[in-house]
Chain A
Amino acid sequence: MPARSNDLALPTDTEPAIALRGIVKDFPLKRGAAVRALDRLDLEIAHGEFVAILGPSGCGKSTVLRLAAGLEQPTEGEVLVEGRSPAELIRAHRLGVAFQEHALLPWATARNNVALPFRVAGREVDRERVDALLELVGLAGFEDARPRQLSGGMRQRVAIARALALEPDVLLLDEPFGALDAVTRRRMNLELARIWMEQRITTLLVTHDVDEAVLLADRVVVMTGRPGRVLHVQQVEMPHPRGGEVTRDPEFHALVDRLTGMLDDPEPVAATS
């Protein structure tokens, strides 16, 4: 079963945290032509659920995340986050995001980078929370380091701490470990699993790494491209917390193999565009 936050009475527990309904997204090209990135896509994510979108590059999975983040507008259909439009959540500073590029401010220390959301929202910086977040992502002692002085993995940790700074309603992660080497990536996956266990924030992760998706998510959504559609939704029943031992579990491997097979040879979807 997907893990659910059970302590707080959520305002609208029956309503999904993120809802994308009948989404069509076209990108205009030159001379009036357009390319269809997403075609009638539906996706709902429950409160406290961790959903991974898995797919080959160019299948439109990042576009799904950018729609939820309010960085793109759908051509058709509606996007609701916490029952409101993403733009409203942005204005209320309720979204957290991390990209493949860490997008840290190179002139600011790790501490000031994590404090950025407070400043942008015009709130007083909660120094204790900033330091606690840096400790949570394993960067105690590196508070005053500049991004340039940190390794690639450490930079992504800072970016994730920044995304968590204002206790967002929704965490959006777009290939956050995509630029890391395989060893660091695996370690970061286990770290993220631990951090998520402590925070239990509704999370949407976009990735092309099958291991990463299965290790972290309650549900894996497999997408195909051109135009982007949902090919398959896979419930991952393994209980949290998932540590390194999970990756040696035969059940884990069976699941990874099945999903990998789908990516290699997607079932032909009737083209109706």
Chain B
Amino acid sequence: MSRVPGAALAPSRGLAAGGVLALLVLVEIVGRLGLAGPGWPPLTDVFGYVAKPSAQQLLGRALTATATAALAGFLLGGVVALLVAVLSALVPATGPGLERLAAVVHAVPLIALGPLLITTAGREATPTLVAALAAGFAVFVAATSALGSANDAQRDVFTVLGAGRASTLLRLQLPAGLPLIVDGLTLAAPAAVLGAVIGEWFGARRGIGVLLVSSMQNVQTDQLWAAALTAAAISLLAYVLLVALRGAVNRRFQ
């Protein structure tokens, strides 16, 4: 029962692989037997569809559009959120108001924002902007709590040493908060992918989101599932990359 690293690892790896395999088999069986109706195809059919060159071309184009929008949105949202968090740390009087604004902007439902952005920013920019909003909120929430995460004794030392706000921010708050900021980025990455997909629902020309809605309306079940799996895959990839980054940061800054 004890947690000897080497001993516990082997069976748990086996169990993990077993778990993923069981999930895949379950999805296949439900589809094969038609337990969930015609909307749930066998997984092998979906893979068979993806193997076709025409499908790969279609999915590839959609993937490029969505990944680009998600990445651009992630960067834009992350940078803006960090700047706003830094502003609220340097000018504490603005803090409560900026936090309320972020909460309100976040609470504005995406369905309200989508058409609004389409009319103001255009079809091409909308997925990026929705992704930026989704990612930016996650980063902002993480960053504001991150900049407050230095402990009281450390702050007292900085106060007594006569450190100004900028110096405290640079030498204490930012490095102390970096692990939490990276945590926020880890949440923001899948949020950016989701934001890009939802942004595409409001009338973008191409992308995974467009493919999802058109396949749903045209009853192209295999294509629908393939698009969904692609969306899940890029989301998972973004998450895994940032979890790796988080590991590196935690080793260095804790």
Find chain B residues with CB under 8 A from A96 CB.
160
Question: Could you say which of A90, A100, A101 contacts B160, with CB atoms under 8 Å apart?
Answer: A90
- Which A113-157 residues have a C-beta within 8 angstroms of B? 116-117, 119-122, 148
**B162 and A90 contact, CB distance less than 8 A:** yes
User: What class of interface size applies to chain B in its complex with A?
Assistant: 10 to 19
Q: Which of B38-46, B87-95, B148-156 contacts A (4 or more CB under 8 A)?
A: B148-156
**A71 and B156 contact, CB distance less than 8 A:** yes
**A93 and B156 contact, CB distance less than 8 A:** no
Contact A95-B161, Cβ < 8 Å, known A107-B175, A120-B167:
yes
- Minimum CB–CB distance from B92 to chain A (whole Å) comes to 17
**A105 and B172 contact, CB distance less than 8 A:** yes
Find chain B residues with CB under 8 A from A69 CB.
156, 159-160
Find chain A residues with CB under 8 A from B160 CB.
69-71, 90, 95-97, 172
The complex places the Cα of A105 from the Cα of B153 at a distance, in Å, of 11
7 A-B pairs in the complex with CB atoms less than 8 angstroms apart: A70-B159, A95-B161, A97-B157, A105-B175, A106-B253, A107-B254, A120-B167
Find chain B residues with CB under 8 A from A95 CB.
160-162
- Quick one: CB contact mask for B130-171 with A, threshold 8 Å, 1 for yes? 000000000000000000000101101111111100010001
**A101 and B172 contact, CB distance less than 8 A:** no
> Taking chain B's interface residues, is the majority helix, strand, or loop, or is none over half, making it mixed?
helix
Asked if A103 CB lies within 8 Å of chain B CBs, one says yes
CB nearest to B158 among chain A residues:
A120
Question: Could you say which of B153, B161, B175 contacts A121, with CB atoms under 8 Å apart?
Answer: B161
The complex places the Cα of A172 from the Cα of B161 at a distance, in Å, of 12
**B161 and A116 contact, CB distance less than 8 A:** yes
Asked if A269 CB lies within 8 Å of chain B CBs, one says no
Find chain B residues with CB under 8 A from A119 CB.
167, 171
- Minimum CB–CB distance from A91 to chain B (whole Å) comes to 5
Asked if A271 CB lies within 8 Å of chain B CBs, one says no
The complex places the Cα of A90 from the Cα of B163 at a distance, in Å, of 8
CB nearest to A99 among chain B residues:
B153
Contact A103-B171, Cβ < 8 Å, known A90-B162, A121-B161, A172-B160:
no
- Minimum CB–CB distance from A197 to chain B (whole Å) comes to 24
Asked if A9 CB lies within 8 Å of chain B CBs, one says no
Q: A residues near B, CB below 8 A?
A: 66, 69-71, 90-93, 95-97, 99-103, 105-107, 116-117, 119-122, 148, 162, 172
Asked if B3 CB lies within 8 Å of chain A CBs, one says no
- Minimum CB–CB distance from A220 to chain B (whole Å) comes to 24
CB nearest to A68 among chain B residues:
B160
Find chain B residues with CB under 8 A from A172 CB.
160
Q: Given A90-B159, A103-B157, 14 more contacts at CB 8 Å? A: A66-B156, A69-B159, A90-B160, A92-B162, A95-B160, A97-B161, A99-B157, A102-B153, A105-B176, A106-B253, A117-B161, A120-B161, A120-B171, A148-B254
Find chain A residues with CB under 8 A from B100 CB.
none
**A101 and B151 contact, CB distance less than 8 A:** yes
Find chain A residues with CB under 8 A from B13 CB.
none
**B153 and A103 contact, CB distance less than 8 A:** yes
**A101 and B253 contact, CB distance less than 8 A:** no
- Minimum CB–CB distance from B128 to chain A (whole Å) comes to 34
Find chain A residues with CB under 8 A from B163 CB.
120
The 9 closest A-B pairs by CB, nearest first: A103-B153, A101-B153, A120-B163, A90-B162, A97-B160, A93-B162, A103-B154, A107-B253, A120-B161
Find chain A residues with CB under 8 A from B52 CB.
none
The complex places the Cα of A76 from the Cα of B158 at a distance, in Å, of 26
Find chain B residues with CB under 8 A from A66 CB.
156
CB nearest to B254 among chain A residues:
A106
